[in-house]
Structure 1
Amino acid sequence: MPKQEFPFPMPNGWFCITRSHELKAGEVQSLKFCEKEVVAFRTESGTATVLDAYCPHLGAHLGEGGCVRGETIECPFHAWRWNADGTCAEIPYAKNFPPKAKETRIFNYPVVEVNGFIWAWHHLHKEEPTWEVPAIEGFNGDDEKWGKVYHYDYNINTVLQEIAENDVDQAHFPKVHGSPSLPETEAITEGIYKKTIAETLMDPSNDSVSEEFKVKDHGMFTTTFTRESWGLGTVGLRMVNLPPSGGEFIMVNASCPVDNSNSILRWSMRVSKDIEDELGMAIIDGIANGVLDDMPIWDNKSYVADPILCDGDGPINKFRKWVSQFYSEPIQN
């Protein structure tokens, strides 16, 4: 069965290009982002930049053999150099700088660095950003409260809307994950921002936790689970009141649409130091492995535009209405 393409246009918003520590000064990465070939590079002074990938001169891919020269990227074909703003900086062999070269600009994506990630703004019609990526506590600078940061990356064979819809799909948790559903006790929606709070039971010895991290003599416990979303690209998670000392868990989910069938999730997770040596890795490992349960479903499912829903399914239609604001064109049902 061929993998389906979904009826959604590429979404608008801030999306994760890569992790900050994975793009060092002078380095270049070739990436696919929102169905476009792009090049990410960090100038020698440390500025992270994302441009469309192809040199306007004769079409070489700047990410395949291109290199950083000072504050520019040099084309591997004829050594034309391009500034971070997409303008042409230098043509090494030209006696006269062509007027067209002065007028030409490679599209440069708005970029910010926060929470340990490099984010690029995508808009289908190239409009400017309409919100900012929030700084999430525990992922910006040193903080004595928190333990080690753990990184997990996933290549997912579906689109971001399908992934995010699982968060509100209450009925899939017991069947797919073997865990209780997460009925919302509080829900707030304000424009591109959405916040939900739920009480849930956790078991540090369940099947999602790798054998080496299981805490078999602890038993189940209740925690408050808060999820905040800013568009489809940024999600912050927090759990509090974790035993034995009332510890906390925090996470950033930084997402990237690759094309109309594929996405990348980059997760950063950590727990407060007071539980790091006890339940910490059971919680982190269990959550990291939980998404693996979803993958066979995503690999093979189709999108149902007008689903048959019942009272235990969760607020799926409300979620779809909220997410529709991130598309510049209507969904082709």
Structure 2
Amino acid sequence: MSGWRHHIVRRESPKLPYASGEAPLPGPEGWVMLAPSTELRPGDVVTRRLMGEDVVIYRTRAGRVRVVRPYCPHLGAHLGCGGKVEGENIVCPFHHFAFGPDGDIARLGPGYTGKLPRDGLTVLPSEEVNDGIFAWIGTPRAKVPWRIPSLLDARGSRPRFTVLDLHTHPQEVFENIVDVGHVRALHGYTDAEHARPPVSEGHTYSVPLRFVRPFPPFGNLRGETEVTMYGLGFIHARSCVPEIGLEITVMLAPRLIEAWRIHLSVGVSVLLAPQTRPFNRLPQSFLRAIATAATPLNLRAVAADLYGDVPVWNTKVYASPPRLAAGDGPIGAYRHWARQFYPADRSGPDS
């Protein structure tokens, strides 16, 4: 028996269904969150991956945020690798050409003379809202057709964020909101249902949820969540638990970094309802301090809920058409709404 070798067969990992890069859904148009606002101080330059390409974000000394394509039009240097901010300009690390907030060349590098070249940086439409930095991705347009409104309650805590690295697609993440069947089965809610039918209006899709979930050692908590999707790049969900005077705002912002792989930013803000006992006897500044201290704990709880979805997202295929059953929720109607965010000249999803 000495000639025999014992081989241990370890558990094999499931294959990632779209690891080859071929994906059934293209990248959607719309607003995409690139980073939380707190990650970019005045003078900072940051690179982010977006749909297989780099973009560079910088904050001017006056505090304005700009998002540009990364390569200097002069000789192709990457502005995210050594580029720096001088006043309101970003300066190329190679020849020190400076570009203004509009992307035009503001000045040439040392030793250069003559007229300024016409070609500047490609500037992407960007906005800073809900404590996040967003860029518009899609077919070039003279004007961005819609915007994400400011949704945070000033009485609540400033959002805290974490990021999940997932092998999935923004449409698949958002589909979980209408898929109430998985909320009961996977997340252990004793009850979850749509309080009213979802409503789609242009680029928004609103879903009111009513839920009951175990909350040891306090028993079951009943609450309602009003969820609104803004395209396929941003979800705002406001949950109210009247029994304990708690309001939690959850923001989900998937960024497609390459085919079928996203970075999902998860943000949480907490508000202690000032009209609820015993909070109605406390000053607002004290309530906000308590909410701020409670925000990291609530962020961990929200992330823990999402972790249950991660192995499913990472290994599932996009079922098209789906074989739906009673109790699934309006998945077909949701997919029909999502079609509008795919360019007309590219093959979009079917329902």
For Structure 1 versus Structure 2, the TM-score category normalised by the shorter chain is 0.7 to 0.9
1:97 is aligned to: 115
Residues 164 and 232 in structure 1, CA contact (< 8 A), matched pair in contact too: yes
Contact 2:190 2:214 survives alignment (8 Å): no
CA offset at residue 64 of structure 1?
Answer: 0.9
Distance 1:286 1:136 in 2: 22
Written as runs of structure 1 = structure 2, the 5 A alignment for 1:233-272 is: 233-244=233-244, 246-272=245-271
Aligned-residue RMSD, C-alpha: 2.3
- Tell me whether 1:69 sits opposite 2:86 in the alignment: yes
Secondary structure (helix, strand or coil) at the match of 1:153 reads strand
Identity %: 28
- For the pair shown, the structure with the greater C-alpha radius of gyration is 2
Matched, 1:111 2:140: no
CA distance change for structure 1 residues 193 and 119 in 2, over 3 Å: closer, same or farther?
A: same
Matched residue type, 2:336: K
- Structure 2: distance between partners of 1:281 and 1:25: 25
Aligned twin of 1:60: 77
Check conservation: 1:10, 1:124, Cα contact below 8 A. Answer: no
Q: Which amino acid aligns with 1:306?
A: P
Distance change >3 Å, CA 133–CA 279, structure 1 → 2:
closer
Normalising by the residue count of structure 1, what TM-score does the alignment of the two structures yield? 0.86
Aligned residue pairs, count: 313
- Rounded to whole Å, the distance in 1 between the matches of 2:296 and 2:317 is 34
2:114 maps to a residue whose letter is N
Worse-superposed segment, 111-120 or 121-130: 121-130
Aligned residue runs from structure 1 range 196-275, under 5 A: 196-205=207-216, 216=217, 218-244=218-244, 246-273=245-272, 274=279
Name the CA shift for 1:48/1:315 in 2 (closer, same or farther; >3 Å).
same
Q: Following TM superposition, by how much is the alpha carbon of 1:256 offset from its aligned partner in structure 2, in angstroms?
A: 2.0
Alpha-carbon offset, residue 41 of structure 1: 0.5
1:185 corresponds in structure 2 to: 195
Partner deviation per Cα, 1:189-244 (whole Å, 9 max, x = no partner): 11111111121002223xxxxxxxxxx2x100211111111111121111224323
1:170-199 deviations in Å (ceiling 9; x for gaps): 222233222246321212111111111121
Q: Return the letter of the residue paired with 2:316.
A: K
State the shift of 1:265 in Å. 2.0
Q: Do the aligned partners of 2:270 and 2:294 also contact (CA within 8 Å) in 1?
A: no
State how far apart, in whole Å, the 1-side matches of 2:79 and 2:190 are. 49
Q: Does the alignment pair 1:158 with 2:175?
A: no
Once the two structures are TM-superposed, the CA of residue 127 in structure 1 deviates from its matched residue by: 5.6
Kept after mapping to 1: 8 A contact 2:268/2:298: no
Q: Distance in 1 between matches of 2:294 and 2:215?
A: 7
- Secondary structure of the residue aligned to 1:171 is helix
Cα-to-partner distance string for 1:9-41 (whole Å, 9 max, x where unaligned): 221111111111110111100111233211100
* 1:275-302 residue CA offsets vs partner (Å, 9 max, x unmatched): 9689987755432211111111111111
Deviation at 1:260, TM superposition (A): 1.8
Q: 1:120 aligns with which of 122, 125, 135?
A: 135
The unaligned stretches of length 5 or more in structure 1 are 206-215
Alignment gaps of 5+ in structure 2:
1-14, 273-278, 280-286
CA distance in 1, matches of 2:324, 2:32: 31
1:251 and 1:270 in contact (8 A); partners too: yes
Contact 2:125/2:136 (<8 A) preserved: yes
Contact 1:170 1:181 in 2 (8 A): no
CA offsets, 1:264-321, max 9 Å, x none? 2222213323496899877554322111111111111111221211112211111100
Give the 4+ runs in structure 1 shifted more than 4 A.
274-284
